[in-house]
């Protein structure tokens, strides 16, 4: 009887799970082993699924050649962090205002936030480039932070708005009765409850900025280039430097994995919050 259950469980649960896991994880595995294969094996005629010998040469090259990957990581980190802080602050305050206040032009402003995301990025590229150049911000991380906020703030506002609308007004009213003003009530009552949703929104903003390429290639130069641009520079006209590209890919996903590791619980809470009205 127990054996029957075990076989049923293996066939119905573990086997499909293993197949799905292999399907999902194989690209990561392939990226990893490609990054540690020696050049002659990598570009050889025979495909090897496990490297005959291991080398960290591609990782060394990544940090010592013109790619300057360390600089790119630093720039990406600065840009993504700054964008997250700016976008999260602006969108939290905006979402709170939209949720709690009825004022003239409220709907127009909310629609404008939505419409902004309907523009193809490429359409914004030349005007934004021109603006950044005239403001003297071109080739600085600030130009990227500002341009990223054009699409991260609208999305974040709508994401947070859904959650805030579900929060009962009585919470703040109780705080106001107890002697808090609006500001204190927001900081002491609303913000702590908003925690999971802020984490989810923050992760979204961080990852979008971390991976963005179109603006980054236009608004940066050798000193300020970010990871996606540095990785793209390894894809040439006649060939791809697979060893460096895969090594760069592995390093790029490490910070994202660490972030997910710590934020996973709150991320899921935040994404599902506001989905069901009680």
Provide the binding-site residues for other proteins, judged by CB under 8 A: 61, 65-67, 108, 111-112, 115, 119, 123, 125-131, 133-134, 138, 217-218, 221-222, 229, 232-239, 241, 244
117's tokens: 């995301």
CB 222 within 8 A of CB 68: yes
Nearer to other proteins (CB atom), residue 110 or residue 263? 110
Least spacing, CB of residue 86 vs other proteins, in Å: 21
Nearer to other proteins (CB atom), residue 127 or residue 179? 127
Nearer to other proteins (CB atom), residue 65 or residue 89? 65
Least spacing, CB of residue 144 vs other proteins, in Å: 15
Nearer to other proteins (CB atom), residue 78 or residue 131? 131
Nearer to other proteins (CB atom), residue 81 or residue 140? 140
Residue 243 CB neighbours (<10 A): 23
Task: Say how far apart CA 172 and CA 126 lie, in whole Å.
Answer: 45
185's tokens: 């009530």
Distant-in-sequence contacts of 96-101, Cβ < 8 A, 24+ apart: 96/160, 96/164, 96/186, 96/190, 98/157, 98/161, 98/164, 99/161, 99/164, 99/165, 99/167, 100/164, 100/169, 100/172
Least spacing, CB of residue 15 vs other proteins, in Å: 37
Least spacing, CB of residue 216 vs other proteins, in Å: 10
Least spacing, CB of residue 183 vs other proteins, in Å: 32
Q: Report the candidate in 198, 196, 220 with the shortest Cα–Cα distance to residue 79.
A: 220
Least spacing, CB of residue 138 vs other proteins, in Å: 8
Helices first, then strands: H and E counts in the chain: 14, 0
Nearer to other proteins (CB atom), residue 109 or residue 256? 109
């Amino acid at each position: 009887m127990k054996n029957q259950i075990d076989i049923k469980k293996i066939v119905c649960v573990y086997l499909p799970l293993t197949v799905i896991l292999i399907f999902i994880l194989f690209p990561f595995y392939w990226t990893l082993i490609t990054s540690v294969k020696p050049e002659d094996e990598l570009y050889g005629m025979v495909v090897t699924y496990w490297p005959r010998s291991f080398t960290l040469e591609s990782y060394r090259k990544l940090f010592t050649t013109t790619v300057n990957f360390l600089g790119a990581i630093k720039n990406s980190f600065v840009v993504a962090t700054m964008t997250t802080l700016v976008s999260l602050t602006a969108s939290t305050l905006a979402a709170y205002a939209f949720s709690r206040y009825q004022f003239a032009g409220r709907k127009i402003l909310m629609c404008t936030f939505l419409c902004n995301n309907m523009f193809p990025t490429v359409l914004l590229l030349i005007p934004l480039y021109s603006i950044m150049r005239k403001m003297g911000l071109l080739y600085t991380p600030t130009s990227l932070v500002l341009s990223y906020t054009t699409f991260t703030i609208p999305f974040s506002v709508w994401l947070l708005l859904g959650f805030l609308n579900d929060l009962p007004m009585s919470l703040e009213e109780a705080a106001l009765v107890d002697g808090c003003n609006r500001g204190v009530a927001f900081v002491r009552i609303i913000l702590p409850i908003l925690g999971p949703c802020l984490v989810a929104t923050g992760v979204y903003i961080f990852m979008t900025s971390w991976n963005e390429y179109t603006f980054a290639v236009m608004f940066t130069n050798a000193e300020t280039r970010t990871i996606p641009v540095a990785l793209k520079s390894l894809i040439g006209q006649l060939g791809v430097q697979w060893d460096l590209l895969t090594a760069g890919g592995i390093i790029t996903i490490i910070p994202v994995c660490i972030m997910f590791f710590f934020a996973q619980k709150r991320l899921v809470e935040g994404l599902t919050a506001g989905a069901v009205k009680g």
